[in-house]
């Protein structure tokens, strides 16, 4: 039973995400913004499904991907600058803006760098310290590309509301801070993974 669950775990993650996403697709705060925010998930999720037979991530990676996609679904439903529960939370610390977008950018680095490392190791055969360094660079590059795409889509599709859709909330350095948060998240995860693997290797050597 345990082996069967482990084998089918990716399908469980997909089912959980689709139910969660479907629920949040009902009456979003702004339907057009919701559609724009879901352009990348519309590409990313099918890509994982269609490449499943050729490349299967570990169950840990599927868990991390699912959690990140759920966080994104919440932001798409409410728009990133109007998520009610984080606005209340951050008010405790007297922040002037809703920082849910910062949380999700941090989560992008913190959660997605692990499956990215797994992907790069298996496809490129990279070994050693570079297996921790390259995924961090990938996260930073991915964050930069996302900010560029987001800006381009906003300028082309909805230029009159570009500032509002980008969710900069009056911060001219919003894009740079978002990328920094992703980088910090990635560094934390890769540092923890490096230390964990070194400890395991040390125990194996001593045995």
- At residue 57, the pLDDT reads 94
Structure tokens at 144: 């930069």
Q: Find all residues with CB under 8 Å of 94, minimum gap 6, and list them.
A: none
Residues 66-95 have pLDDT tens digits of 999 999 999 999 988 788 876 666 555 555
Burial of 135 (0-12, 13-18, 19+ CB in 10 A): buried
183-191 mean pLDDT: 97
- At residue 149, the pLDDT reads 80
48-64 mean pLDDT: 93
Number of H helices, E strands in the chain: 9, 0
**Mean pLDDT in the chain?**
84
Query: Is this structure's pTM higher than 0.75?
Result: yes
**How far is Cα 206 from Cα 192, in angstroms, rounded to an integer?**
21
Q: Can you give the C-alpha Rg of the chain in angstroms?
A: 19
**How far is Cα 188 from Cα 194, in angstroms, rounded to an integer?**
10
- 128 compared with 204, residue with greater pLDDT: 128
- At residue 39, the pLDDT reads 85
**How far is Cα 67 from Cα 20, in angstroms, rounded to an integer?**
11
Residues 119-163 have pLDDT tens digits of 999 888 788 899 999 999 999 999 999 888 877 776 676 655 555
**How far is Cα 3 from Cα 37, in angstroms, rounded to an integer?**
36
27 backbone φψ class: left, alpha, beta (φ>0; ψ -120 to 50): left
Q: Where are the domains of the chain?
A: 2-206
| pLDDT of residue 1 exceeding 50 | no
- Among the residue ranges 3-12, 17-26, 148-157, the one predicted with the least confidence is 148-157
20-31 mean pLDDT: 93
Give percent of the chain above pLDDT 70: 79
**How far is Cα 201 from Cα 151, in angstroms, rounded to an integer?**
45
pLDDT band at 19 (very low <50, low <70, confident <90, very high): very high
């Amino acid at each position: 039973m345990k082996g069967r669950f482990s084998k089918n775990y990716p399908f469980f993650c997909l089912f959980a995400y689709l139910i969660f996403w479907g629920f949040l697709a009902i009456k979003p705060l702004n339907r057009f913004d919701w559609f724009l925010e879901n352009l990348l998930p519309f590409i990313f999720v099918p890509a994982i499904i269609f490449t499943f037979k050729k490349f299967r991530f570990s169950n840990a990676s599927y868990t991390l991907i699912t959690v990140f996609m759920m966080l994104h679904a919440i932001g798409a439903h409410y728009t990133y600058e109007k998520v009610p529960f984080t606005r209340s939370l951050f008010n405790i610390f007297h922040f002037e803006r809703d920082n849910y977008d910062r949380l999700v950018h941090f989560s992008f680095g913190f959660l997605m760098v692990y499956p990215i490392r797994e992907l790069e190791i298996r496809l490129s055969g990279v070994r050693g310290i570079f297996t921790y360094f390259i995924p961090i660079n990938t996260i930073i590059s991915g964050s930069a590309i996302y900010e560029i795409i987001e800006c381009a889509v906003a300028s082309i599709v909805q230029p009159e509301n570009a500032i509002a859709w980008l969710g900069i909330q009056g911060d001219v350095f919003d894009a740079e801070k978002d990328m920094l948060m992703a980088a910090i998240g990635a560094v934390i995860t890769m540092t923890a993974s490096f230390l964990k693997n070194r400890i395991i290797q040390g125990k194996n050597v001593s045995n």
